[in-house]
């Protein structure tokens, strides 16, 4: 059998909504790679109103947060309809990550807005959403979730490195797949690029024109997070406050900060690579300065796949997670998140038959 699933991903860097329509074939197993084909992918830029609403969501009252949850679900539904109509294709399932507002696994909760019930009602297609909550309920970090895709879709690589808002790695060792967040990436790089009037640092050009501040580099290297072993994840809001409180008082130019951060991130990432082949995806794969610095520091061969895979890998993986959820198979890995068990995560919403 074949199933076409539309995966949705909105990352911490707010650089757009990624949509990937993927066709999967056959019954999925971890003993052989899943047969799949990316039919169409697109990144939809957020209108200013949504950039504002999502970037300030953590400040909302409970009723206003619930309103955002519903409104964003409706917005996601409208994006799905536009995407499918433009592509002239149909999906049998929508698999949505939502957008993370709060992530506090140590306190037992995580929150991704984008109500799947509203989304399904808007589009008339069965929808899976809320993938992180169950893992957190079983004591996990609720992140990273992408390693299940690395296992099923990209198992030939020693390490799968994603350079999104946060850089994270996934690798197989001892019969298990381990994973963790390594360090910030686009979340901070975009922030300092925006101070220069850019949405992001095009190909790392701003960082290239800056100078390295060795004092800041040393201070960043000593941060306690880098000493933690085992499954671990970074929280967006705490991360921004923590890093900017260290960086900004030093009075450096934005370009010097970008240069120094890029080198720092390359160093931390190089320390967390395994095997002899590294798959690099995420928007940061287009940052030539950061990739150059990473190549200088690591012995492993870096493989950057086609632009579609680079850009849409996370959306592809969430499509896979929906595929596994439909078959009632495990789609989160305790070895990666630190949970007490693997889970078949995600809330499945069945759209009324008359709407299909």
pLDDT tens profile 298-329: 878 999 999 999 999 999 999 999 999 999 99
pLDDT at position 111: 96
Mean pLDDT throughout 65-83? 98
Give the DSSP letter of residue 45: P
How do residues 281-298 score in pLDDT, each as one tens digit? 988 999 999 999 999 998
> Between 164 and 299, whose confidence is greater?
164
Q: Do domains 2-147+312-355 and 151-308 have the same CATH topology?
A: yes
pLDDT at position 354: 56
Distance of CA 62 to the CA centre of its chain: 25
* CA 168 – CA 106 distance, rounded (Å): 19
Q: Is the bond preceding 150 in cis, omega lying within 30 degrees of 0? A: no
- pLDDT bin (cut points 50, 70, 90) of residue 174 is confident
Contact 191, 174 (CB under 8 A): no
What single string gives the DSSP state of each residue in 53-110? HHHTGGG--HHHHHHHHHHHHHHHHHHHHHHHHHHT---SEEEE--EEEEEEGGGTEE
Q: What percent of the chain has pLDDT over 90?
A: 80
Domain topology for 151-308: Nucleotidyltransferase; domain 5 (3.30.420)
pLDDT at position 194: 95
Domain ranges of the chain: 2-147+312-355, 151-308
Mean pLDDT throughout 346-352? 95
Tokens of 168: 């994270």
How do residues 102-129 score in pLDDT, each as one tens digit? 999 999 999 999 999 999 999 999 999 9
Beta strands in the chain (DSSP E): 2-10, 17-25, 35-44, 93-96, 99-104, 109-113, 127-129, 159-163, 166-173, 176-184, 277-281, 301-303, 347-349
CA distances for 138 relative to 53, 119, 127, 332, angstroms: 31, 27, 23, 11
**CATH entry, 2-147+312-355, from 3.50.7.10, 1.10.20.140, 3.30.420.40, 3.40.50.1370:** 3.30.420.40
């Amino acid at each position: 059998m074949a199933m076409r699933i539309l995966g949705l991903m909105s990352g911490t860097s707010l650089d757009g909504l990624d949509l990937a329509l993927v066709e999967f074939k056959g019954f999925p197993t971890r003993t052989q790679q899943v047969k799949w084909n990316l039919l169409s992918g697109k990144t939809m830029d957020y209108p200013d109103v949504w950039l504002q609403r999502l970037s300030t969501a953590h400040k909302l009252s409970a009723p206003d947060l619930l309103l955002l949850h519903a409104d964003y679900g409706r917005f996601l539904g409208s994006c799905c309809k536009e995407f499918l109509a433009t592509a002239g294709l149909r999906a049998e399932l929508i698999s949505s990550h939502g957008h993370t507002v709060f992530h506090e696994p140590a306190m037992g909760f995580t929150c991704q807005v984008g109500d799947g019930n509203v989304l399904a009602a808007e589009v008339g297609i069965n929808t899976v959403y809320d993938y992180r909550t169950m893992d957190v309920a079983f004591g996990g970090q609720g992140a990273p979730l992408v390693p299940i895709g690395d296992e099923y879709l990209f198992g030939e690589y020693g390490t799968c490195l994603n350079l999104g808002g946060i850089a994270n790695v996934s690798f197989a060792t001892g019969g298990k797949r381990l994973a963790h967040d390594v360090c910030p990436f686009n979340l901070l790089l975009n922030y300092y690029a925006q101070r220069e009037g850019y949405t992001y640092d095009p190909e790392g050009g701003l960082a290239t024109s800056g100078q390295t501040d060795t004092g800041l580099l040393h201070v960043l290297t000593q941060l306690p997070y880098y000493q933690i072993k085992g499954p671990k994840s970074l929280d967006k809001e705490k991360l921004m406050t923590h890093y900017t409180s260290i960086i900004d008082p030093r009075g450096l130019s934005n370009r010097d900060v970008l240069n120094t951060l890029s080198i720092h991130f390359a160093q931390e990432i190089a320390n967390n690579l395994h095997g002899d082949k590294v798959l690099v995806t995420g928007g940061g794969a287009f940052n030539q300065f950061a990739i150059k610095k990473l190549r200088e520091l690591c012995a492993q061969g870096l493989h950057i796949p086609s632009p579609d895979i680079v850009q849409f890998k996370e959306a592809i993986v969430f499509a896979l997670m929906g595929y596994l959820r439909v078959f009632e198979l495990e789609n989160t890995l305790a070895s990666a998140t630190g949970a007490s068990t693997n889970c078949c995560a995600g809330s499945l919403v069945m759209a009324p038959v008359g709407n299909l």
